[in-house]
Chains A and B, each alone.
Chain A
Amino acid sequence: MLIEFKDVSKSFKKQQVLKEINLQMKEDEIFGIIGPSGAGKTTLIRLLIGAISADEGKIRLSDYQVPDLKALNILGYMPQNDALYNDLSGEDNLLFFGGMYQQLKKAELKHRVKEVLELVELSEDAVKKVIHYSGGMKKRLSLAVALLHSPQVLILDEPTVGIDPLLRKKIWDEFYELKKQGKTIIVTTHVMDEAIKCDRLALLYNGSIIACDEVEALLNRTKNHSIEELFLAQGGKQV
């Protein structure tokens, strides 16, 4: 197992946001976390990257116990909001974040920047300031930043919100490609269509994992072959 959550709980002030989460993620898989907004998806991810600490339980990433500075070398993270420097060009954003990884030497970094810009179709807008980007363009640039240093584990918080269907397909093709290369991809989403593209899926509801299995297996549990039903079975609200 590459990543393991063991009895992880997290509260903000009095509100318990995550309750005894147990999860395992393997190498070369696309792991989806689906849940309604406010379920705790972002919190789960921020725990994994070490931005916040768990109240209870342990999180292991490869050989490291989170938080560990070395673990950050193998992580790529795309936050839910874009988190980019608005006063810099797209290219400068990439060069900056790339500069934070030792493994990327200067010439190699330049090459990678070109590559990822092409991948997210921003080559022509590379020198524009991010402040002049549209919402979708920012999202793509943010993805490019996460991909830049070819991380072993790629963590994406609602990556395709606001991206048109054509590009979304292209991005998913890239995810499959990365998976083939043996990388782990963790995606959160609240969209069913997207969730079923994953290999395995965890259903997060009110801070608890209500189901976690291969997508096919999950779908087979329901009458209508839809994930909504699993949430509805919890007496929960429509996702």
Chain B
Amino acid sequence: MKTWVIVKRIIRQTVNDKRSMGLILIVPLFLFTLIYFLLGDSEYSPTIAIHGLPEQLVVELKEQDVTVIDYGMEEGKAAVKDETVDAFLYLEQQEMVLLIETSDAVKSSVIQKAIQNATKELNPGGGMRTEQLYGDSEESMFNNLGYVLLGVISFFLIFILAGISFVRERTNQTMERLMITPVKRWQVVLGYTLGFGVFAMLQSILLLAYVKWVLHMSIQGSLLAAGCVMILLSMTAVCMGAFCSIYANNEFQMMQFIPMIVIPQIFFSGLISLDTIPYHLGVLAKVMPVYYACDALKAIIIKGATLSEVVMELLALLIFIGLFFILNIFALKKYRRI
């Protein structure tokens, strides 16, 4: 009952604050639109060297607004290296191989999209191996970008929202005032978690709907599963934001957590292949919620996983939520020992 009063208060307070509402609902859509234009519909049309491709595919590629130049095998590879072409697409033992220069994630995304679209018509489900001139990762940097950003942006914004709100309650001492009413500590934590959880949920659903139906991002797997991952991740952000705010005395100090908490998570979110991180630092990812969320989102969005296939990741997120929930209940002892 008291929990519910707190939830209602958080909702009303946040709705009354136009900036917070903008941060939750408008900013992520704006960011994704921006990314969409940066990565998607650009005027840029790539030049690709080809070797030994079927005639039909060449036609399809041209349809995709790609300039195609026929090269010999070695010539083609050299052309990619000295950047006279953007990529080299060739057949090697019936397998299609794309050699790409990866320093520009945007260009490589456009190229991959074009080739995917071209091959979709001819040979749906047909595989393609991508080789990068720099780095030996099988995955292109860009393929990761979409789902990584989905996870990271959502986590980041909710983390800031919840953290700043908590710090404000500290600095204007409403928290101390609340804690001298006979409310129990768990009721306060639950109220806050659910209250901000409503906005976390709202943001997740809105953002997913937007990228799917407005920006037409292709989501291969279950939308429901993607929604669950997003919601659990932003709930983790609520709990972690609240927890970090205990160690911040003002809003600026809360912002100082961004390089400590948020940015490292971006590194470990799958943007950089974990196997390539030296000194086994990749294992650090295991303590980062964004890693699990991005892992699950990748499985769902790219590989078409269903809800049951990402259960482990969902469980990991639930453990984070539970852990920080309990930590927060203890942290409130700072205001009242009982």
Using a CB–CB cutoff of 8 Å, the interface residues on chain A facing chain B are: 46, 49-51, 53, 67-70, 72-73, 75, 77, 79, 81-88, 92, 96-97, 99-102, 129, 145
Contact = CB atoms under 8 A, between A and B. Distances in A.
B13 interface: yes
Interface stretch (B23-31, B45-53, B175-183, B279-287): B175-183
Interface in B1-41: 2, 5-6, 9, 12-14, 16-17
7 tightest Cβ-Cβ pairs between the two chains A and B: A99-B5, A100-B181, A83-B173, A72-B182, A83-B177, A87-B16, A87-B13
B194 to A, nearest CB: 15
Interface stretch (B69-77, B86-94, B314-322, B330-338): B330-338
Interface string B167-196: 000001110111111111000000000000
A83 B179 CA distance: 12
Contacts of A53: 337
B129 to A, nearest CB: 55
Contacts of A100: 2, 5, 178, 181-183
A79 B181 contact: no
Nearest to A81: B173
Given A50-B336, A81-B173, A83-B176, 18 more contacts: A50-B338, A51-B180, A67-B337, A69-B182, A69-B184, A75-B180, A77-B177, A77-B180, A79-B176, A83-B173, A84-B172, A85-B174, A87-B16, A87-B17, A97-B177, A100-B183, A101-B181, A129-B16
Q: Is the interface of A mostly helix, strand, loop or mixed?
A: loop
A50 B337 contact: yes
A72 B173 contact: no
B89 to A, nearest CB: 56
A141 B242 CA distance: 27
Nearest to A86: B172
Contacts of A51: 176, 179-180, 335-336
B238 to A, nearest CB: 18
30 contacts: A50-B337, A51-B176, A51-B335, A53-B337, A67-B337, A69-B182, A69-B338, A70-B182, A72-B180, A72-B181, A72-B182, A73-B182, A77-B177, A79-B176, A81-B173, A82-B172, A84-B174, A85-B9, A85-B13, A87-B13, A87-B14, A88-B9, A88-B12, A88-B13, A92-B12, A97-B181, A99-B2, A100-B178, A100-B181, A100-B182
